[in-house]
Amino acid sequence: MRLETCQILAGWLIDGSGKQTLSNVLITVTNGIIRNIKDTGEGLPDKYPAVSYLDLSEFTLVPPLVDSHVHLCLSGTTDQGVRHYQKDAAYSVLKPVMEAHLGEYTARGIVGIRDGGDYRGYSTRFKMEKSRTGKQRLKVKSAGRAWHAKGRYGGVLGTFPEEGLTLREAIAASVNPCEHVKVINSGLVGLKEFGLSGRPQFDFAQLKDAFEYAHEKGLEVMVHANGHEPVLTAVDAGCNSIEHGFFAGTENLYRMKEKGVFWIPTLRAMEALYENLPNGSEEKQVAVRTLEHQMGQVAKGSEIGVKIALGTDSGSIGVDHGRAVSREIRLFLEAGLTPEKIVHFAAFNGAAILGAAADTGAITEGGKARMIAIKGSPEKALSGYEEAEKRFLGF
């Protein structure tokens, strides 16, 4: 077999491991596999003629990114008429919408998304159809229909156990396919009063029983939870990830770290709410305080080693698919996270949640040469990800 080798000179390399950024790196790739990563220190040695390598000395290299919380069949529009229509629309109507959303991700070097559920489970149907055609360019994992308690928040994202059935029994009896289980264990964050998040939707015993069943079937569990008690109950019951986690509290952050639970803090979703509330309103003031509090929790979680992943909640009000990833990254930067941490969360941890860390989560010797080159130094490249010149290598 003929070996095809190329070399890449990168100004900066953030490999996804969380380790310090390398500067002036020469990467050797043979047949799509990274054979060598060399820190050249001051720059490219004279023995390498300019024609023998791809010069990306003004670019930062990062692994492909993952959005760990989206709602694929919902648009980020603020038009309530459209949002209401999409909830009940036929699959034939929403299929091209989902196709368009996928295009927004691939155009930005996002190679995987994790869906958090929709009313009719269309995202799972769509994913299964794409898989059968072999034309799926990015990895999609879908929850199908999410589970919420009867009479509580969650109707737009799924269904509830029928009368007389426990959550476990309802999941076991469901004919709706899914690749992970989504449970809603709180309401939305209240904007009438700062810190208001409500009580859990399910008690500890029901959650534990349901989670054990899901794990027996090889399914991980993602839980929508805001507030101390809803998060605590879900973490102690054995969930795999906490979605949102507003007002979770420091105790729960340590608990998530101890149990290895992923946390997807969805900062952009709260920022978008703030942007779309009337100026001077009490709700707008509460929203900005809530966002600032969540950014503080993200800083604390990062400091103590919680497994944070980037997720935008795209499809919620004002949160556009694909485009929101750049804003989520910028909010992480504003929260004080380093570029190395952010890439680790957005690439490696996201890929781990999808079960694809070995393929796309990091840039390593022996791994696939699949990388995004973003023009600029690390902080400049990440803060301006949406607008920056980008090159996709190995896609």
Domain borders along the chain are 5-63+362-393, 65-357
- Give me the pLDDT at residue 4, please: 85
**How confident is the model over 23-51, as a mean pLDDT?**
79
Residue 375 has pLDDT above 80, yes or no: yes
Residue 387 has pLDDT above 80, yes or no: yes
Residue 274 has pLDDT above 80, yes or no: yes
Place of tokens 């692994």: 63
Residue 352 has pLDDT above 90, yes or no: yes
- Give me the pLDDT at residue 153, please: 97
Domain 5-63+362-393 superfamily per CATH: Urease, subunit C, domain 1 (2.30.40.10)
Dist. CA 392–CA 222, nearest whole Å: 30
- Give me the pLDDT at residue 46, please: 56
Query: Lowest-confidence range among 19-23, 52-56, 216-220, 247-251?
Result: 52-56
- The pTM of this model reads 0.95
> Using one digit for the tens of pLDDT, what is the confidence trace for 73-116?
999 999 999 999 998 899 999 999 999 999 999 999 999 999 99
> Using one digit for the tens of pLDDT, what is the confidence trace for 173-188?
999 999 999 999 999 9
Dist. CA 361–CA 68, nearest whole Å: 13
- Give me the pLDDT at residue 44, please: 56
Query: Lowest-confidence range among 32-41, 133-142, 221-230, 255-264?
Result: 133-142
Dist. CA 145–CA 157, nearest whole Å: 6
Residue 377 has pLDDT above 80, yes or no: yes
> Using one digit for the tens of pLDDT, what is the confidence trace for 309-349?
999 999 999 999 999 999 999 999 999 999 999 999 999 99
Residue 59 has pLDDT above 60, yes or no: yes
**How confident is the model over 246-258, as a mean pLDDT?**
98
- Give me the pLDDT at residue 298, please: 99
Q: Band of the pLDDT at 132, cuts 50, 70, 90? A: confident
Residue 149 has pLDDT above 90, yes or no: yes
- Give me the pLDDT at residue 51, please: 47
**How confident is the model over 286-308, as a mean pLDDT?**
99
| Selection from 95, 118, 76, 90 nearest residue 325 by Cα | 76
Percentage of the chain lying above the pLDDT 70 cut: 95
- Give me the pLDDT at residue 49, please: 54
- Give me the pLDDT at residue 1, please: 45
3-state secondary structure the chain: CCCCEEEEEEEEECCCCCCCCEEEEEEEEECCEEEEEEECCCCCCCCCCHHHEEEEEEEEEECCEEEEEECCCCCCCCCHHHHHHHHHCCHHHHHHHHHHHHHHHHCCCEEEEEECCCCCCHHHHHHHHHHHHCCCCCEEEECCCEECCCCCCCHHHEECCCCCCCHHHHHHHCCCCCCCEEEECCCCCCCCCCCCCCCCCCCHHHHHHHHHHHHHCCCCEEEEECCHHHHHHHHHHCCCEEEECCCCCHHHHHHHHHHCCEEECCHHHHHHHHHCCCCCCHHHHHHHHHHHHHHHHHHHHHHHCCEECCCCCECECCCCCCHHHHHHHHHHHHCCCCHHHHHHHHHHHHHHHHCCHHHHCCCCCCCECCEEEEECCHHHHHHCCCCCCEEEECC
Q: Which CATH class is domain 65-357?
A: alpha beta
Average pLDDT, the chain: 94
